[in-house]
Amino acid sequence: MFTIKKFTSVQALLLFGLLMGVFIIYPNIAQIPWDIPRHVQSAGEGGGAMQVPVHTMNIKHVCFESLTGYWLFFVFRYLFFSITIWVLLIINIKKIKQPVFARRIFLTAVVTALAYGLYILTSLSIKKHIDCFTIHLLFQFVVACVLCVLIGYATALYSVQREKELEIERLKRETLQSRCDALANQINPHFFFNSLNGLTYLVRSDDKERTLEFVNKLSNVFRFILQSDKKGLVTLSEELNFLDSFRYLLEVRFADKLTFDIRVDESATTMKLPVLSLLPLVDNAVVHNAIDSEHKIRMVIATRSDSDSGETVLTVSNPIYPKLEKPVTNGTGLTNLSARYQLMVHKDIRIEKTDDTFTVILPLS
């Protein structure tokens, strides 16, 4: 996968310097077909004063030396520009990481001027000073300087932007995680007091067996809820085991006026979803609907293949029997569930509502 770190490694910058070196000396490359004949002609004229027996050999020797010197200096020019660009890129990307344009262009210009001076001194020392003081050579150094400044500045801007995006993403995750923790904190006291009411009913009815079973199921539910903060995703099988205990408590509380119809494929039980996904949906149905002899609630929990994506989803639906008085709730149950899905699964839940039925569709991963 492409990353800015790979692009700005020392080896990558060296390779980029070699490629840019070709770009910088391209005018010299294009001039080769005209330079070589000129060197040969110049070498031939220089050997014309020799004696006839050695004339041909001297001309060939002088031409060979001239062409060898030409190619060696050509390679030197290429490597010099490549290394200069490499150094300038390291300064602009590795050393100056903040997008401060004035400082960047000043340091790059100073280093480029030093490189230009070194190039001239080297050329004069080996008597290859034909292009030392030409506008063409000066323009090549200016182009190398400007390109390295722009590349370094663009890289710095990208890095700053990337850091901001990562920071925003981190803050989003922390916010969503705090909302998940808040959801668990809301569930515990709310569920605890409702469960105590159910237990009180059983104690008063003097049904010891159901009371013991109720306490056992209540213990399972609280154990699962208290351990939920240590879990992110759980299998559908774990969530249904929790629901088995939870629904028993509700069936006792509502005297079998609230029942469950669970239709889950065996192959889907190993798929995962955020912990405590079913609890707010069941609680939502209980809070917002009238449950009595005339309005019995039968919740249907089933798996199916989604018609849009083709993926396996879990549907939780219940009939709608609105209460005469609107319930007082904070309305965070479905909101928090949606946020947890985006945080943990990177998918959205869907809500489908008709006049008679309320359905929530949960993606499974």
Which domains does the chain possess?
4-167 (no CATH), 207-363 (3.30.565.10)
Asked if residues 316 and 299 have their Cβ atoms less than 8 Å apart, the reply is yes
Structure tokens at 229: 């903060």
Residue by residue, pLDDT tens for the chain (365 residues) are 445 565 567 788 888 888 998 988 888 888 878 777 776 666 555 544 444 444 555 656 566 666 777 788 888 889 999 999 999 988 888 888 777 778 888 999 999 999 999 998 888 888 776 677 788 888 989 999 999 999 888 888 888 888 888 888 877 777 666 666 665 555 556 667 767 777 777 777 777 888 888 888 888 887 887 777 677 789 999 999 999 988 888 888 887 788 999 999 999 999 999 888 898 898 888 888 888 888 899 999 999 988 777 889 999 999 999 888 877 666 667 887 887 888 788 888 999 999 899 999 999 98
Integer Cα distance of 124 and 147 in angstroms: 27
Q: What is the C-alpha separation between 12 and 5, in angstroms, rounded?
A: 10
Packing angle between helix 135-205 and helix 278-288, nearest 10 degrees?
60
Residue 146 burial (C-beta neighbours within 10 Å; 0-12, 13-18, 19+): middle
Predicted pLDDT at 190 = 61
Nearest residue to 342 (alpha-carbon basis) of 177, 122, 120: 177
Return the bridge partners of 273, or none. Answer: 234
C-beta separation of 119 from 62 below 8 A: no
Strand positions, DSSP E, 171-311: 233-235, 258-263, 272-274, 297-305
The rounded distance, in Å, linking the Cα atoms of 197 and 189 is 13
Per-residue tokens: 211? 């009371």
What pLDDT, on the 0 to 100 scale, is given for residue 188?
Answer: 53
**β-strand 312-319 against 350-353: which pairing, if any?**
unpaired
Q: CA 171, CA 177: separation in Å to the nearest integer?
A: 10
Burial 76-87 (b: 16+ CB within 10 A, else e): ebbebbbebbbb
Q: How many CA atoms lie within 13 A of 270 on its CB side?
A: 2
Q: Return the pLDDT at 53.
A: 47
Using DSSP's 3-state secondary structure scheme, residue 45 falls into: helix
